Chains A and B, each alone.
Chain A
Amino acid sequence: QKEVEQNSGPLSVPEGAIASLNCTYSDRVSQSFFWYRQYSGKSPELIMSIYSNGDKEDGRFTAQLNKASQYVSLLIRDSQPSDSATYLCASKDSSYKLIFGSGTRLLVRP
């Protein structure tokens, strides 16, 4: 199993819907998790971080961490076409190196 795994997608949702992006992780990474958004041809930008079990909300974004099931998710409420991008899940391994998943492509249909 890879340290951080994501479904490559694409995940297609209509404008205004909730987009749910998921990430599973192995025992080889830490309990700190990060969600990066990457537009096509651009570099990643941090949108959310979470390191405690439960939910963390920031505007339209909610990150959820479930340590017992080893998954972390990102919910985007009221999805907009401008949210169409690849979302990268990341965590740190035992040497504190930031490990990225392969990303999930999100398409928000107008």
Chain B
Amino acid sequence: EAEVAQSPRYKITEKSQAVAFWCDPISGHATLYWYRQILGQGPELLVQFQDESVVDDSQLPKDRFSAERLKGVDSTLKIQPAELGDSAMYLCASSPGLSFWTGDFSGANVLTFGAGSRLTVL
């Protein structure tokens, strides 16, 4: 079964350090999402890519967070410098294409999440 790959699974860092997370979506999926989930809360969208283009990064703290998907396949989310409040699970998800984003739901266009990367900032 196709999976969304994420690494690392766990990351412990000290505040002010840089961290990076990597995501490889399901092959052929055009849309890639990065969500942040703080313990006890629902996932919050940080950035959404359609191929290599950012279509929504309104909730991404751009002073310290950056995301890229240079070739429209895998993606990297970076935090520099990390702060205590960044401790969370960072979830990557992918979906086949534009139809989900535009609201035209079909059974095939659902988000599949990776296992997540749990970040602890000390």
Contacts and interface: CB of A to CB of B under 8 A. Distances in A.
B55 to A, nearest CB: 9
Interface stretch (B62-70, B71-79, B113-121): B113-121
Contacts of A51: 105
Contacts, number: 50
Given A97-B45, A97-B48, A98-B111, A30 B56 contact: no
Contact of A98 (B45, B107, B112): B45
Interface residues of B, number: 24
Contacts of B45: 97-99
26 contacts: A8-B40, A30-B103, A34-B110, A42-B115, A42-B116, A43-B89, A43-B113, A43-B115, A43-B116, A46-B111, A46-B112, A49-B105, A49-B107, A51-B105, A90-B42, A92-B103, A95-B56, A96-B101, A96-B103, A97-B56, A98-B45, A99-B45, A100-B43, A101-B42, A102-B40, A102-B41
Interface of A: 4, 8, 30, 32, 34, 42-46, 49, 51, 88, 90, 92, 95-103
